[in-house]
Structure 1
Protein backbone atom coordinates (compact mmCIF):
# COMPACT_ATOMS: atom_id res chain seq x y z
CA UNK A 1 0.00 0.00 0.00
CA UNK A 2 1.41 3.38 -0.99
CA UNK A 3 1.36 6.23 1.50
CA UNK A 4 1.00 9.84 0.39
CA UNK A 5 4.35 10.88 1.82
CA UNK A 6 7.10 9.19 3.81
CA UNK A 7 9.14 10.98 6.44
CA UNK A 8 12.87 10.22 6.36
CA UNK A 9 15.95 11.24 8.34
CA UNK A 10 19.55 12.07 7.50
CA UNK A 11 21.94 13.91 9.79
CA UNK A 12 19.03 14.63 12.18
CA UNK A 13 17.04 16.54 9.53
CA UNK A 14 13.75 15.27 8.17
CA UNK A 15 12.66 15.15 4.55
CA UNK A 16 9.70 13.73 2.68
CA UNK A 17 9.66 11.07 -0.01
CA UNK A 18 6.85 11.46 -2.57
CA UNK A 19 4.42 8.61 -3.11
CA UNK A 20 5.50 8.36 -6.75
CA UNK A 21 8.71 6.63 -5.66
CA UNK A 22 8.77 3.03 -4.47
CA UNK A 23 11.36 0.73 -2.96
CA UNK A 24 13.00 -1.82 -5.25
CA UNK A 25 13.09 -5.01 -3.12
CA UNK A 26 15.79 -6.51 -5.32
CA UNK A 27 18.28 -3.91 -4.06
CA UNK A 28 17.62 -4.22 -0.32
CA UNK A 29 17.86 -6.71 2.54
CA UNK A 30 16.84 -6.68 6.21
CA UNK A 31 18.83 -8.37 8.97
CA UNK A 32 19.64 -8.27 12.68
CA UNK A 33 22.55 -5.92 13.45
CA UNK A 34 24.77 -5.21 16.43
CA UNK A 35 23.32 -2.50 18.66
CA UNK A 36 26.58 -0.98 19.89
CA UNK A 37 28.73 -0.98 16.75
CA UNK A 38 26.09 -0.55 14.02
CA UNK A 39 22.70 0.63 15.26
CA UNK A 40 23.69 3.20 17.89
CA UNK A 41 26.12 5.23 15.72
CA UNK A 42 23.57 5.34 12.88
CA UNK A 43 20.72 6.47 15.13
CA UNK A 44 22.80 9.09 16.95
CA UNK A 45 23.98 10.55 13.68
CA UNK A 46 20.68 10.64 11.83
CA UNK A 47 17.67 10.55 14.20
CA UNK A 48 16.41 13.93 15.44
CA UNK A 49 16.67 12.82 19.10
CA UNK A 50 20.30 11.72 18.60
CA UNK A 51 19.88 9.16 21.38
CA UNK A 52 19.33 5.44 21.86
CA UNK A 53 16.70 3.79 24.06
CA UNK A 54 17.44 0.66 26.07
CA UNK A 55 17.41 -1.88 23.26
CA UNK A 56 16.17 -5.46 23.00
CA UNK A 57 16.84 -5.97 19.28
CA UNK A 58 18.30 -3.87 16.46
CA UNK A 59 17.42 -4.50 12.82
CA UNK A 60 19.09 -2.90 9.80
CA UNK A 61 18.05 -2.12 6.25
CA UNK A 62 20.90 -2.74 3.80
CA UNK A 63 21.24 -1.55 0.24
CA UNK A 64 23.05 -4.15 -1.85
CA UNK A 65 25.94 -2.84 -3.94
CA UNK A 66 28.39 -4.10 -6.49
CA UNK A 67 30.82 -6.85 -5.60
CA UNK A 68 28.80 -8.10 -2.67
CA UNK A 69 29.21 -4.87 -0.71
CA UNK A 70 26.25 -3.46 1.21
CA UNK A 71 25.45 -0.13 2.88
CA UNK A 72 23.41 0.37 6.06
CA UNK A 73 20.61 2.78 5.06
CA UNK A 74 18.03 2.25 7.81
CA UNK A 75 17.69 1.09 11.40
CA UNK A 76 14.76 -0.19 13.45
CA UNK A 77 15.16 -0.37 17.23
CA UNK A 78 12.93 -2.57 19.38
CA UNK A 79 13.29 -1.14 22.88
CA UNK A 80 12.28 -1.86 26.43
CA UNK A 81 8.88 -0.29 27.18
CA UNK A 82 8.98 3.26 28.54
CA UNK A 83 7.74 1.77 31.81
CA UNK A 84 6.26 -1.53 32.95
CA UNK A 85 2.80 -0.01 33.37
CA UNK A 86 2.61 0.77 29.65
CA UNK A 87 2.44 -2.93 28.74
CA UNK A 88 -0.89 -3.80 30.40
CA UNK A 89 -2.25 -0.35 29.54
CA UNK A 90 -1.28 -0.35 25.84
CA UNK A 91 -0.99 -4.08 25.02
CA UNK A 92 -3.28 -5.79 27.56
CA UNK A 93 -0.42 -8.05 28.68
CA UNK A 94 0.65 -8.63 32.29
CA UNK A 95 4.25 -9.63 31.68
CA UNK A 96 6.34 -6.52 30.85
CA UNK A 97 8.78 -8.61 28.83
CA UNK A 98 6.05 -9.84 26.50
CA UNK A 99 5.92 -6.47 24.70
CA UNK A 100 8.42 -3.92 23.46
CA UNK A 101 8.42 -0.43 22.01
CA UNK A 102 9.26 0.52 18.47
CA UNK A 103 11.86 2.87 19.91
CA UNK A 104 13.47 4.21 16.73
CA UNK A 105 12.84 3.93 13.00
CA UNK A 106 15.32 5.81 10.81
CA UNK A 107 15.61 5.44 7.03
CA UNK A 108 17.62 7.41 4.49
CA UNK A 109 15.73 9.64 2.12
CA UNK A 110 16.88 7.76 -0.99
CA UNK A 111 15.48 4.32 -0.12
CA UNK A 112 12.23 4.88 -2.01
CA UNK A 113 8.60 5.07 -0.99
CA UNK A 114 7.11 2.21 1.05
CA UNK A 115 10.55 1.33 2.45
CA UNK A 116 9.21 1.70 6.00
CA UNK A 117 6.43 -0.85 5.59
CA UNK A 118 8.70 -3.19 3.61
CA UNK A 119 11.36 -3.04 6.32
CA UNK A 120 9.02 -3.21 9.32
CA UNK A 121 7.12 -6.27 8.10
CA UNK A 122 10.44 -8.13 7.88
CA UNK A 123 11.72 -6.67 11.14
CA UNK A 124 8.65 -8.01 12.97
CA UNK A 125 9.41 -11.50 11.65
CA UNK A 126 13.01 -11.24 12.83
CA UNK A 127 11.79 -10.03 16.23
CA UNK A 128 9.61 -13.11 16.63
CA UNK A 129 12.52 -15.37 15.63
CA UNK A 130 15.09 -13.72 17.89
CA UNK A 131 12.84 -12.79 20.83
CA UNK A 132 9.88 -15.22 20.83
CA UNK A 133 8.78 -13.98 24.26
CA UNK A 134 7.80 -10.66 22.64
CA UNK A 135 4.31 -10.94 21.16
CA UNK A 136 3.27 -7.27 20.86
CA UNK A 137 4.97 -4.06 19.73
CA UNK A 138 3.86 -0.67 21.02
CA UNK A 139 4.63 2.40 18.96
CA UNK A 140 4.30 6.09 19.80
CA UNK A 141 3.86 9.04 17.46
CA UNK A 142 4.89 12.43 18.86
CA UNK A 143 2.58 15.08 17.34
CA UNK A 144 4.48 18.10 18.68
CA UNK A 145 6.42 20.16 16.15
CA UNK A 146 9.93 20.86 17.43
CA UNK A 147 11.77 24.08 16.51
CA UNK A 148 15.42 24.83 17.31
CA UNK A 149 16.98 28.06 18.61
CA UNK A 150 17.37 29.33 15.05
CA UNK A 151 13.68 28.93 14.29
CA UNK A 152 14.25 25.86 12.10
CA UNK A 153 11.88 22.91 12.28
CA UNK A 154 13.93 19.80 13.10
CA UNK A 155 10.99 17.52 13.95
CA UNK A 156 7.76 18.36 12.13
CA UNK A 157 5.57 16.21 14.39
CA UNK A 158 3.63 13.20 13.17
CA UNK A 159 0.43 11.34 13.98
CA UNK A 160 1.50 7.79 13.05
CA UNK A 161 0.30 7.56 9.46
CA UNK A 162 2.81 4.78 8.79
CA UNK A 163 1.38 2.69 11.63
CA UNK A 164 -2.18 3.13 10.40
CA UNK A 165 -1.11 2.08 6.88
CA UNK A 166 0.27 -1.12 8.40
CA UNK A 167 -3.05 -1.95 10.05
CA UNK A 168 -2.03 -1.37 13.64
CA UNK A 169 -4.56 -0.70 16.38
CA UNK A 170 -4.86 2.92 17.54
CA UNK A 171 -5.61 2.97 21.27
CA UNK A 172 -5.56 6.73 21.97
CA UNK A 173 -3.00 8.99 23.61
CA UNK A 174 -0.50 8.51 26.37
CA UNK A 175 -0.93 10.65 29.49
CA UNK A 176 -0.49 14.43 29.08
CA UNK A 177 2.72 15.76 30.56
CA UNK A 178 4.97 18.78 30.88
CA UNK A 179 8.28 18.58 29.01
CA UNK A 180 11.45 20.44 29.92
CA UNK A 181 12.88 21.89 26.71
CA UNK A 182 16.54 22.67 26.03
CA UNK A 183 17.57 25.85 24.19
CA UNK A 184 18.02 23.83 20.97
CA UNK A 185 14.36 22.79 21.12
CA UNK A 186 15.06 19.23 22.21
CA UNK A 187 13.10 17.88 25.19
CA UNK A 188 15.12 16.21 27.90
CA UNK A 189 13.46 13.00 29.00
CA UNK A 190 11.50 12.98 32.24
CA UNK A 191 13.42 9.83 33.17
CA UNK A 192 16.73 11.70 32.92
CA UNK A 193 15.38 14.52 35.09
CA UNK A 194 14.10 11.98 37.62
CA UNK A 195 17.54 10.33 37.82
CA UNK A 196 19.13 13.70 38.61
CA UNK A 197 16.52 14.73 41.17
CA UNK A 198 16.57 11.39 42.99
CA UNK A 199 20.33 10.72 42.64
CA UNK A 200 19.60 7.45 40.85
CA UNK A 201 21.95 5.29 38.82
CA UNK A 202 22.64 6.99 35.53
CA UNK A 203 22.39 10.53 36.89
CA UNK A 204 25.95 11.32 35.75
CA UNK A 205 25.03 10.66 32.13
CA UNK A 206 21.86 12.75 32.50
CA UNK A 207 23.86 15.65 33.94
CA UNK A 208 26.36 15.31 31.09
CA UNK A 209 23.49 15.66 28.60
CA UNK A 210 22.62 19.03 30.10
CA UNK A 211 26.24 20.16 30.19
CA UNK A 212 26.73 19.25 26.53
CA UNK A 213 23.65 21.32 25.70
CA UNK A 214 25.27 24.34 27.36
CA UNK A 215 24.04 24.23 30.96
CA UNK A 216 26.26 25.64 33.67
CA UNK A 217 28.00 23.00 35.77
CA UNK A 218 26.66 22.36 39.30
CA UNK A 219 28.59 24.21 41.97
CA UNK A 220 30.55 22.23 44.56
CA UNK A 221 28.05 20.80 47.02
CA UNK A 222 25.06 22.25 45.16
CA UNK A 223 21.86 20.25 45.57
CA UNK A 224 20.86 18.79 42.20
CA UNK A 225 17.19 19.71 42.65
CA UNK A 226 18.20 23.32 43.31
CA UNK A 227 20.52 23.18 40.28
CA UNK A 228 17.68 22.09 37.99
CA UNK A 229 15.39 24.76 39.45
CA UNK A 230 18.02 27.43 38.77
CA UNK A 231 18.46 26.25 35.16
CA UNK A 232 14.73 26.66 34.71
CA UNK A 233 14.67 30.05 36.48
CA UNK A 234 17.52 31.29 34.26
CA UNK A 235 15.60 30.24 31.14
CA UNK A 236 17.98 27.48 30.07
CA UNK A 237 15.16 24.99 30.57
CA UNK A 238 11.60 25.94 29.69
CA UNK A 239 8.36 24.10 30.28
CA UNK A 240 6.08 22.98 27.46
CA UNK A 241 2.77 21.21 27.89
CA UNK A 242 2.43 18.02 25.88
CA UNK A 243 -1.02 16.52 25.13
CA UNK A 244 0.39 12.98 24.99
CA UNK A 245 1.75 10.84 22.18
CA UNK A 246 -0.48 8.82 19.89
CA UNK A 247 -0.28 5.13 20.84
CA UNK A 248 -0.43 2.25 18.36
CA UNK A 249 -0.34 -1.48 18.95
CA UNK A 250 0.95 -4.28 16.71
CA UNK A 251 -0.20 -7.65 18.13
CA UNK A 252 2.12 -10.20 16.53
CA UNK A 253 0.37 -13.41 17.62
CA UNK A 254 -3.15 -14.70 18.17
CA UNK A 255 -2.56 -14.60 21.95
CA UNK A 256 -1.55 -10.95 21.68
CA UNK A 257 -4.72 -10.12 19.74
CA UNK A 258 -6.86 -11.85 22.38
CA UNK A 259 -5.06 -9.93 25.16
CA UNK A 260 -5.84 -6.66 23.38
CA UNK A 261 -9.59 -7.28 23.11
CA UNK A 262 -10.39 -5.00 26.04
CA UNK A 263 -8.33 -2.06 24.76
CA UNK A 264 -9.80 0.94 22.93
CA UNK A 265 -9.95 0.57 19.16
CA UNK A 266 -10.26 4.13 17.91
CA UNK A 267 -10.27 5.86 14.51
CA UNK A 268 -6.82 6.83 13.29
CA UNK A 269 -5.80 10.45 13.94
CA UNK A 270 -5.32 12.78 10.98
CA UNK A 271 -2.43 15.13 10.29
CA UNK A 272 -3.25 18.84 10.19
CA UNK A 273 -0.96 20.00 7.39
CA UNK A 274 -1.74 23.65 8.11
CA UNK A 275 -0.37 23.52 11.68
CA UNK A 276 2.80 25.60 12.02
CA UNK A 277 3.57 24.88 15.69
CA UNK A 278 2.46 22.75 18.62
CA UNK A 279 0.22 19.71 18.12
CA UNK A 280 -0.14 18.82 14.44
CA UNK A 281 -3.14 16.54 15.02
CA UNK A 282 -6.27 17.69 13.20
CA UNK A 283 -9.13 18.39 15.58
CA UNK A 284 -12.22 16.17 15.36
CA UNK A 285 -14.73 17.54 12.85
CA UNK A 286 -17.41 18.09 15.49
CA UNK A 287 -15.00 20.06 17.63
CA UNK A 288 -13.90 22.13 14.65
CA UNK A 289 -17.50 23.02 13.90
CA UNK A 290 -18.26 24.03 17.48
Structure 2
Protein backbone atom coordinates (compact mmCIF):
# COMPACT_ATOMS: atom_id res chain seq x y z
CA UNK A 1 0.00 0.00 0.00
CA UNK A 2 1.32 3.41 -0.81
CA UNK A 3 1.58 6.10 1.83
CA UNK A 4 -0.71 8.31 -0.25
CA UNK A 5 -3.71 6.16 0.71
CA UNK A 6 -3.50 7.46 4.30
CA UNK A 7 -4.12 4.07 5.84
CA UNK A 8 -3.12 3.17 9.35
CA UNK A 9 0.12 1.20 9.63
CA UNK A 10 -0.08 -2.56 9.07
CA UNK A 11 0.85 -3.47 12.66
CA UNK A 12 -1.82 -1.33 14.34
CA UNK A 13 -4.86 -3.35 13.33
CA UNK A 14 -5.81 -6.85 14.46
CA UNK A 15 -6.17 -9.79 12.11
CA UNK A 16 -9.56 -11.23 11.28
CA UNK A 17 -9.98 -14.78 12.66
CA UNK A 18 -9.01 -17.38 10.05
CA UNK A 19 -12.16 -19.47 10.36
CA UNK A 20 -15.36 -17.72 9.45
CA UNK A 21 -18.85 -18.80 8.39
CA UNK A 22 -19.16 -15.61 6.31
CA UNK A 23 -18.58 -15.04 2.57
CA UNK A 24 -17.42 -11.58 1.57
CA UNK A 25 -18.99 -9.87 -1.45
CA UNK A 26 -18.38 -6.56 -3.22
CA UNK A 27 -20.33 -3.94 -5.12
CA UNK A 28 -18.86 -0.59 -6.11
CA UNK A 29 -16.01 -1.02 -3.67
CA UNK A 30 -18.29 -1.69 -0.67
CA UNK A 31 -18.28 -5.03 1.07
CA UNK A 32 -21.23 -7.10 2.22
CA UNK A 33 -21.49 -10.55 3.73
CA UNK A 34 -23.35 -13.80 3.06
CA UNK A 35 -23.51 -16.47 5.74
CA UNK A 36 -22.64 -20.00 4.64
CA UNK A 37 -25.93 -21.26 6.08
CA UNK A 38 -27.75 -19.08 3.55
CA UNK A 39 -26.37 -21.33 0.81
CA UNK A 40 -28.56 -21.11 -2.22
CA UNK A 41 -25.76 -21.81 -4.70
CA UNK A 42 -26.95 -23.71 -7.76
CA UNK A 43 -24.17 -24.57 -10.22
CA UNK A 44 -26.70 -24.91 -13.06
CA UNK A 45 -27.16 -21.12 -12.93
CA UNK A 46 -23.50 -20.28 -13.55
CA UNK A 47 -20.79 -20.57 -16.18
CA UNK A 48 -17.12 -19.63 -16.07
CA UNK A 49 -15.45 -18.30 -19.20
CA UNK A 50 -12.33 -16.41 -20.17
CA UNK A 51 -13.19 -12.73 -20.58
CA UNK A 52 -11.20 -10.03 -22.35
CA UNK A 53 -9.52 -7.33 -20.33
CA UNK A 54 -11.96 -4.83 -21.83
CA UNK A 55 -14.73 -6.61 -19.88
CA UNK A 56 -12.81 -7.62 -16.74
CA UNK A 57 -11.05 -4.32 -16.07
CA UNK A 58 -14.14 -2.06 -15.74
CA UNK A 59 -15.81 -4.68 -13.52
CA UNK A 60 -12.79 -4.90 -11.21
CA UNK A 61 -12.24 -1.13 -11.15
CA UNK A 62 -15.88 -0.61 -10.20
CA UNK A 63 -16.37 -3.35 -7.63
CA UNK A 64 -13.03 -4.36 -6.05
CA UNK A 65 -12.14 -2.41 -2.92
CA UNK A 66 -8.72 -1.43 -4.30
CA UNK A 67 -10.26 0.18 -7.42
CA UNK A 68 -7.10 -0.85 -9.28
CA UNK A 69 -6.29 -3.35 -11.99
CA UNK A 70 -3.10 -5.47 -12.02
CA UNK A 71 -0.87 -6.74 -14.81
CA UNK A 72 -2.88 -9.70 -16.09
CA UNK A 73 -2.23 -12.94 -17.93
CA UNK A 74 -5.82 -14.18 -18.01
CA UNK A 75 -9.19 -13.03 -16.70
CA UNK A 76 -12.07 -15.38 -15.98
CA UNK A 77 -15.65 -14.32 -15.47
CA UNK A 78 -18.47 -15.85 -13.45
CA UNK A 79 -21.70 -15.52 -15.41
CA UNK A 80 -25.23 -15.97 -14.15
CA UNK A 81 -26.97 -17.72 -17.05
CA UNK A 82 -30.35 -18.23 -15.36
CA UNK A 83 -32.03 -15.33 -17.16
CA UNK A 84 -32.43 -14.45 -20.80
CA UNK A 85 -28.98 -12.92 -21.00
CA UNK A 86 -25.68 -13.90 -19.40
CA UNK A 87 -24.80 -11.47 -16.63
CA UNK A 88 -21.28 -11.01 -15.33
CA UNK A 89 -21.34 -11.48 -11.54
CA UNK A 90 -17.68 -12.07 -10.76
CA UNK A 91 -14.14 -11.75 -12.12
CA UNK A 92 -10.87 -13.48 -11.23
CA UNK A 93 -7.65 -11.99 -12.57
CA UNK A 94 -4.50 -14.11 -12.72
CA UNK A 95 -1.31 -12.41 -13.63
CA UNK A 96 2.08 -11.00 -13.02
CA UNK A 97 3.17 -10.09 -9.48
CA UNK A 98 5.44 -7.16 -8.70
CA UNK A 99 8.44 -9.49 -8.36
CA UNK A 100 9.11 -12.88 -9.94
CA UNK A 101 10.25 -14.04 -6.47
CA UNK A 102 6.57 -14.13 -5.49
CA UNK A 103 6.31 -17.10 -7.85
CA UNK A 104 9.79 -18.63 -7.75
CA UNK A 105 10.01 -18.86 -3.96
CA UNK A 106 6.98 -21.19 -3.56
CA UNK A 107 7.39 -22.80 -7.00
CA UNK A 108 11.14 -22.99 -7.76
CA UNK A 109 10.66 -25.68 -10.44
CA UNK A 110 7.95 -23.84 -12.37
CA UNK A 111 8.50 -21.20 -15.03
CA UNK A 112 7.17 -17.92 -13.61
CA UNK A 113 4.37 -16.18 -15.55
CA UNK A 114 3.82 -19.31 -17.66
CA UNK A 115 3.55 -22.27 -15.30
CA UNK A 116 2.90 -20.14 -12.22
CA UNK A 117 0.84 -16.98 -11.76
CA UNK A 118 -0.61 -14.84 -9.01
CA UNK A 119 -4.32 -14.55 -8.27
CA UNK A 120 -4.29 -10.76 -8.40
CA UNK A 121 -7.99 -9.91 -8.06
CA UNK A 122 -11.02 -11.97 -7.10
CA UNK A 123 -14.36 -10.22 -6.78
CA UNK A 124 -17.95 -11.44 -6.74
CA UNK A 125 -21.01 -9.24 -6.56
CA UNK A 126 -23.09 -9.22 -3.40
CA UNK A 127 -25.93 -11.03 -5.18
CA UNK A 128 -23.88 -14.25 -5.48
CA UNK A 129 -25.06 -16.86 -2.97
CA UNK A 130 -22.81 -18.43 -0.36
CA UNK A 131 -20.30 -20.96 -1.72
CA UNK A 132 -20.17 -19.26 -5.14
CA UNK A 133 -16.57 -18.24 -4.64
CA UNK A 134 -15.16 -21.71 -3.98
CA UNK A 135 -17.06 -23.12 -6.98
CA UNK A 136 -15.83 -20.25 -9.18
CA UNK A 137 -12.24 -20.54 -7.96
CA UNK A 138 -12.17 -24.31 -8.58
CA UNK A 139 -13.34 -23.71 -12.18
CA UNK A 140 -10.66 -21.03 -12.59
CA UNK A 141 -7.98 -23.46 -11.42
CA UNK A 142 -9.23 -26.09 -13.89
CA UNK A 143 -9.07 -23.57 -16.75
CA UNK A 144 -5.57 -22.50 -15.74
CA UNK A 145 -4.44 -26.13 -15.56
CA UNK A 146 -5.66 -26.67 -19.13
CA UNK A 147 -3.54 -23.66 -20.12
CA UNK A 148 -0.39 -25.15 -18.55
CA UNK A 149 -0.44 -23.31 -15.22
CA UNK A 150 0.70 -25.60 -12.40
CA UNK A 151 0.92 -23.17 -9.47
CA UNK A 152 -1.07 -20.18 -8.25
CA UNK A 153 -0.01 -17.83 -5.47
CA UNK A 154 -2.85 -16.09 -3.65
CA UNK A 155 -2.77 -13.53 -0.88
CA UNK A 156 -5.34 -12.88 1.79
CA UNK A 157 -5.40 -9.56 3.60
CA UNK A 158 -6.61 -10.30 7.15
CA UNK A 159 -5.91 -6.82 8.51
CA UNK A 160 -8.76 -4.29 8.44
CA UNK A 161 -7.84 -1.12 6.52
CA UNK A 162 -8.91 2.31 7.76
CA UNK A 163 -8.35 5.83 6.50
CA UNK A 164 -6.29 8.24 8.61
CA UNK A 165 -9.59 9.51 10.06
CA UNK A 166 -10.51 5.97 11.16
CA UNK A 167 -13.13 5.10 8.54
CA UNK A 168 -13.14 1.38 7.77
CA UNK A 169 -12.57 0.93 4.03
CA UNK A 170 -11.86 -2.81 4.00
CA UNK A 171 -12.60 -5.15 6.91
CA UNK A 172 -10.01 -7.76 5.97
CA UNK A 173 -10.36 -11.14 4.35
CA UNK A 174 -8.71 -14.35 5.44
CA UNK A 175 -8.58 -16.52 2.34
CA UNK A 176 -11.16 -19.11 3.36
CA UNK A 177 -11.88 -19.80 -0.32
CA UNK A 178 -8.29 -20.82 -0.90
CA UNK A 179 -8.44 -23.37 1.92
CA UNK A 180 -11.76 -24.64 0.52
CA UNK A 181 -10.02 -25.38 -2.79
CA UNK A 182 -7.13 -27.30 -1.18
CA UNK A 183 -4.57 -24.51 -1.20
CA UNK A 184 -1.60 -24.80 1.12
CA UNK A 185 -1.07 -21.98 3.60
CA UNK A 186 2.55 -20.91 3.20
CA UNK A 187 2.70 -18.23 5.89
CA UNK A 188 2.61 -14.48 5.95
CA UNK A 189 4.27 -12.36 3.34
CA UNK A 190 6.51 -9.47 4.23
CA UNK A 191 4.32 -6.43 5.01
CA UNK A 192 4.46 -3.79 2.30
CA UNK A 193 5.06 -0.08 2.84
Matched, 1:124 2:133: no
Aligned match of 2:112 in 96, 114, 118? 96
Query: Aligned to 2:131, which of 114, 120, 127?
Result: 114
* 8 Å CA contact 1:87, 1:93 repeated in 2: no
Partner deviation per Cα, 1:38-97 (whole Å, 9 max, x = no partner): 100000000000111100000000111433x11101000011133111222122335223
Residue 86 of structure 1 corresponds to: 102
Q: CA 1:128 to 1:38, structure 2 compared with 1: closer, same or farther past 3 Å?
A: same
Distance in 1 (CA, whole Å) between partners of 2:138 and 2:27 is 22
Cα distance in 2 for residues equivalent to 1:140 and 1:116: 15
Distance 1:81 1:136 in 2: 13
Q: Call closer, same or farther: CA 1:92–1:152 in 2, change over 3 Å.
A: same
Q: How far 1:24 moved relative to its partner?
A: 1.3
Q: Which of these two proteins has the greater Rg computed from alpha carbons?
A: 1
| Corresponding residue for residue 273 of structure 1 | none
* Separation (CA, whole Å) in 2 of partners of 1:54 and 1:84: 13
**What's the CA shift for 1:149?**
5.4
Q: CA–CA distance in 2 between the matches of 1:70 and 1:94?
A: 36
Q: 1:136 aligns with which of 151, 166, 169?
A: 151
1:24 to 42, 47, 68: 42
* Inter-partner Cα distance in structure 2 for 1:21 and 1:14: 17
**What does 1:1-290 align with in structure 2 at a 5 Å threshold?**
4-22=21-39, 23-35=41-53, 37-67=54-84, 69-93=85-109, 95-97=111-113, 98-129=115-146, 131-132=147-148, 134-148=149-163, 151-177=166-192, 179=193
Deviation at 1:99, TM superposition (A): 0.7
C-alpha offsets along residues 113-149 of structure 1, whole Å, 9 cap, x if unaligned?
Answer: 10001101111111222x31x2100001122211135
Secondary structure of residue in 2 paired with 1:49? coil
User: Bigger shift: 11-20 or 38-47?
Assistant: 11-20
Number of residue-to-residue matches in the alignment: 172
Aligned partners of 2:46 and 2:82 also within 8 Å: no
- Say which structure is richer in helix: 1
